[in-house]
Chains A and B, each alone.
Chain A
């Protein structure tokens, strides 16, 4: 493990800081907070700025990430571990390195560490690294890598500070989760873990520190920045994680909550935890944010590390600054300044985010009893929904129309989603929502109450909405940080459009946003197929690729819009019609496409019938990284099989520097 945060630059120092009961919340020094009403944050202090080693203009976020990842890799003795192309990296970040696409950070860290396996970025604001750790576990289970470095990083920038300040959620003092005063304190840093399969680790005498026994994802489908007050999303994420870990609520001995301290989060999170754990009031529930602040995308990883450090030593981490309990909160918030003795085998780590994206991890002291390798059930594609330069299209679309670039012509979202109030949505949200609705219609699936809870969305994206980003920066330029647009701030995170889509369509199942640069759409489908194939908590997942062009993108012919594929577990087919089977899927490092294809061949032992290859590059109009082309390729292949033109198709992507992916479709 490796950690950089407000109280430590490595895990040993973090452990020590926990023992001493110190917090890293102090007046912010890096930028002026004079015009604001709050002046405190949990900045990483006394950081010696490292030379960038060749590539210019990398800032603190990357430095934090590199340091923590190096510490983790070193502790895991990765140099003596699996070959480089069998080591992957899954990084969670909210905004990454300023002025760069979020996926570039992970690519750079991978390069610096000599990691040549698959590199994936998960960007769902404050739940990013929690989800990242879960997905890293999936990469191992898929045999896409033998070890995965996973975690998260984010920096406390003036814009983020101003945004949270505008929303009125910053504490005037020090963040006091489950207590008073209300409010959170922003932090920063990076946390990484190295995950390996237990047999592989034991085989090379690497001693396991803990086990990631399971994870769960869910969507609130409620509001851009406020959580579902009933705690429904947290409840579903925890239930899913427990099912994934093959554990009962009574097995959980400690909960490390998101506990941001805001007025809205803590009571609703507690409600969700309480429901999920069967009303067991006695479980200790604490939040680390009083000590290290709210480290945004890095929070999940850092808090998981704190959980592991304390669990190993027979302790539970405390909640700092607890004066008196709020009306609705855990009866045992571990209200002390130092870790308290407790022996338990399993802990829950939770995080919630803007856009309603929740993630839960089950961390265990010992290897889990869960059978490996996992049973894989077949997955099918039931529906296709497309929004592009060709307008709106669904199952009847012709594959050739999907290869041209250009902008999406104006369309009325109400035609596709009659119940969605279309006003105020940015283009990216409109594209994604419309395409998702079209894919559901194409499959004849209606999402209501119960189905909605088991229907998820995994969106592949590279950049947030250009319109929203410009609205945000314009508001800063025109009115200054103190009076920036709160609306626009909520939309500059990569998962904003997925959050809107899930809300408008009432999709309450797993929700995440993945970025690998080019190929992100296919990456979403690969993760979605793996999810449905091996888990019990979702029946349907909409896998999407979505891009929005800015005004400057008119030089080449890139394409904008969204392509959604409705994936389903085998057996969940509400209507007859030519279903397309996802026969196999695989992920490998960059420039290792043949390896991925070979793995699928082995698993599917298919006959040598004529095969058609749908390559992402044929659908991309420019060299700039884009998420949509790979999803269009998948859509085109699906449609061709549906129409009986072909029987089998490969959909492949190896356009970026992150990962190669291959998916085999059959009739």
Chain B
């Protein structure tokens, strides 16, 4: 399936994906809470069955991984993307070494992760795991037989991560695909998910996350704690002493824009593009650029980007009107979608 069709499937019905780029780690032991509290960027205000979306930083406060942390009875599990599995495990073990009674286990061994995203993703998943998933709040999870179903996603639509034991993973995939025939469920790859994240203002650790900047420049302060110490927090404290020099800003344009293109305003060079893609929903180009803070505001109309000096304007993201905002599982369904006058997808 091509990129365009995949994006449209995520935006209008449901899409399945194999989440090879996400690694699952289990953390247990009496010292687990204290260890994670010192590693993970967010305050661990979470109860059994809940998840929290945060980061793992390096000592210079640059992003190492984009992670969900979940509390599962006496243990935690982490779903991380950015580094490969060994890098992630190594990082966690290294930073947890100072704590006693902590076990860091590779849960990817023996499990596979399936993503399900779209305004009717809940409808498809319910056919597999029952109606309970319909009421599942964002960033919570529950068990259905051998499947662990988390409500989490980065496309701005209803999103779920299904963690299946190795021996049932293929079967689970097949059953989802078969159950979703009338929903026109699509099988999509990572580039589709990345593009949808771009349109919906979800941080992409593999794009903007690879730049030598901190959560301050990336507008990710909501994902870091101000009250505790964790890996990278002292660097952040140092950085906060002076005003941030650049900020991640969203631009849109009618002509193609590439990653690394230089952004100008008038005669001045004001930044660089770090993420870009063509939006079939909007029929224009959506980009993220690190701009000098004095230019990092929405509503500026005449940026010039790249050697061709493509005209771009800054906007407030997200740039799509996610259908999922309007779909109410208590009332709507894919089959009856035409009976409701949903607002247009383009913002």
Contacts and interface: CB of A to CB of B under 8 A. Distances in A.
Interface of A: 221, 229-230, 263, 267-268, 271, 326-328, 418-421, 446, 448-449, 452, 503-504, 506
B301 interface: no
B33 A230 contact: no
A504 B46 CA distance: 9
Question: Which residue, B46, B142, B330, has most C-beta atoms of chain A within 10 A?
Answer: B330
Give chain B's interface secondary structure class: loop
A327 B331 contact: yes
Contacts of A229: 134-137
B73 interface: yes
B76 to A, nearest CB: 11
A326 B37 CA distance: 44
A448 B74 contact: yes
Contact of B45 (A230, A267, A326, A421): A421
A267 B331 contact: no
A504 B47 CA distance: 8
Nearest to B328: A263
A230 B48 contact: no
Contacts of A267: 134-135, 330
Question: Which residue, B132, B136, B142, has most C-beta atoms of chain A within 10 A?
Answer: B132
A263 B330 contact: yes
Given A418-B33, A419-B45, A326 B330 contact: yes
B47 A419 contact: yes
Interface of B: 33, 37, 43-48, 71, 73-74, 131-132, 134-137, 142, 329-331
A271 B131 contact: yes
A183 to B, nearest CB: 13
Contacts of A271: 131-132, 135
Given A267-B135, A268-B135, A419-B46, 7 more contacts: A221-B47, A326-B330, A327-B330, A327-B331, A420-B45, A448-B48, A506-B48
12 contacts: A229-B134, A267-B330, A268-B135, A271-B131, A328-B131, A328-B134, A418-B44, A419-B46, A446-B74, A449-B73, A452-B48, A506-B47
Contacts of B33: 418
A242 B87 CA distance: 53
Given A271-B132, A449-B73, A327 B329 contact: yes
Contacts, number: 47
Contacts of B48: 448-449, 452, 506
A230 B48 CA distance: 15
Nearest to B34: A418
A416 to B, nearest CB: 14
Question: Which residue, A229, A267, A328, A419, has most C-beta atoms of chain B within 10 A?
Answer: A419
Given A267-B330, A327-B331, A418-B33, A230 B47 contact: no
Contacts of B329: 327
Contacts of A418: 33, 37, 44
A267 B132 CA distance: 10
Nearest to A452: B48
Question: Which residue, B37, B135, B137, B331, has most C-beta atoms of chain A within 10 A?
Answer: B135
A229 B126 CA distance: 14
Contacts of B46: 419
Contacts of A419: 44-47, 71
A500 B272 CA distance: 47
A451 to B, nearest CB: 10
Given A327-B331, A420-B45, A421-B45, A230 B74 contact: no
Contacts of A221: 47
A419 B73 CA distance: 13
A268 B134 CA distance: 10
A421 B45 CA distance: 5
B28 to A, nearest CB: 13
B133 to A, nearest CB: 10
Contacts of A506: 47-48
Contacts of A504: 47
B101 to A, nearest CB: 15
Contacts of B330: 263, 267, 326-328
A229 B45 CA distance: 21
Nearest to A328: B131
B73 A230 contact: no
A455 to B, nearest CB: 13
A268 B73 CA distance: 23
Contacts of A452: 48
A230 B130 CA distance: 11
Contacts of B47: 221, 419, 503-504, 506
Contacts of A503: 47
Contacts of B37: 418
Nearest to A420: B45
Contacts of A328: 131, 134, 330
A429 to B, nearest CB: 15
What are the nearest 10 A-B pairs in CB distance? A229-B135, A421-B45, A449-B73, A448-B73, A506-B47, A327-B330, A449-B48, A230-B132, A448-B74, A419-B45
